[in-house]
Amino acid sequence: MTITSSHLGSTDSWTDARLLYALEEVVEQELNRHLKVAKDWMPHEYVPFSDARNFPGFFEDGEAWEKGQSPVTDIGRIALVVNLLTEDNLPSYHHEIASLFGRDGAWGTWVHRWTAEEGRHGIVMRDYLLASRAVDPDELERFRMVHMSEGFESDNRHSMLHSVAYVAFQELATRISHRNTGHQSGDPVCDRMLARIATDENLHMVFYRNLLKAAFELAPDLTMQSVRDVVVNFRMPGHGMPGFERAAAQMAIGEVYNLRIHHDDVLQPVLRHLKVLEIDGLGPEGLKAQEELGFYMGGLDAEASKFDERLAARKARMAARGA
């Protein structure tokens, strides 16, 4: 099955300003749809405050943090810190998208609504981690200060279209990371909290995915090139945080987020839903981008298979040692 795209203007005729204007009606429709299906929720209802104790400092009864005070697993602790530090950079993310999408009209309303919803995630995660003593609070705060002090600049800040393509994948990646962290956390309370956050992230993905679909209808060649660029160069927004590479490697081994998950659960679902590799009627640059995207996905699948083999071998070795 193929999809034939209508060319509304040549590649050279589309600018960020024109696309912003052309997509405004779609943004309004998607915003209204989102507001109908999104459910308000209270972060404090997901936090086990009865487990909380004072920390040392100004309180005489303060109790120092120890690893054994929480049932959260080692991989859950690592992933929770990465996920929270990512959420902590919300002020920078807001600045990035507000600069690209604007603060007026439907675009601006969405920017502020998205920011408000994302703010809940950082609130509930931090309250949970401190109340349950799942992580070292001093180390968490030091990491937060370093990460936020360095600021954040999006790899796609040069282009509104690249940014829309990026967040369509990134919101799903964040949903998957939160959901898998909950599954691996060893704490049902944590799992329930992250499932609630993941629901929000999925709705955000749907918003951007539908917007990307509209962009394909308007400017198929440019959108295909943007998707190709984003997929090939994809990085999670928290890549600059302290110790990210080591934490990412541990999360890969712990099956929170790795190449197989990235290929099967993040990239493929969006590409398949939009039928990106089946779009017909593209110009030379769009066709080239589509072919390169297909080759890249094939290569990524092969790399993911190699990772699967190494992970299976590691599990076998660990099982043998345990026996």
Q: Where is the binding site for Fe cation, in residues? A: 87, 118, 121, 171, 201, 204
Residue 4: in which H helix or E strand, if any? strand 3-4
Pairing state of beta strands 279-280 and 3-4?
parallel
What's the CA gap between 268 and 175, in Å, rounded?
15
Angle subtended by helix axes 188-218 and 105-132, to nearest 10: 160
DSSP state of 281: S
202 close to 175: Cβ distance less than 8 angstroms:
yes
- Which residue in this structure is represented by tokens 């602790």? 77
Per the rule left: phi > 0, alpha: psi between -120 and 50, beta: everything else, 150 is: alpha
3 has which bridge partners?
279
184 close to 261: Cβ distance less than 8 angstroms:
no
Q: What residue numbers does the annotated binding site cover?
A: 87, 118, 121, 171, 201, 204
286 close to 4: Cβ distance less than 8 angstroms:
no
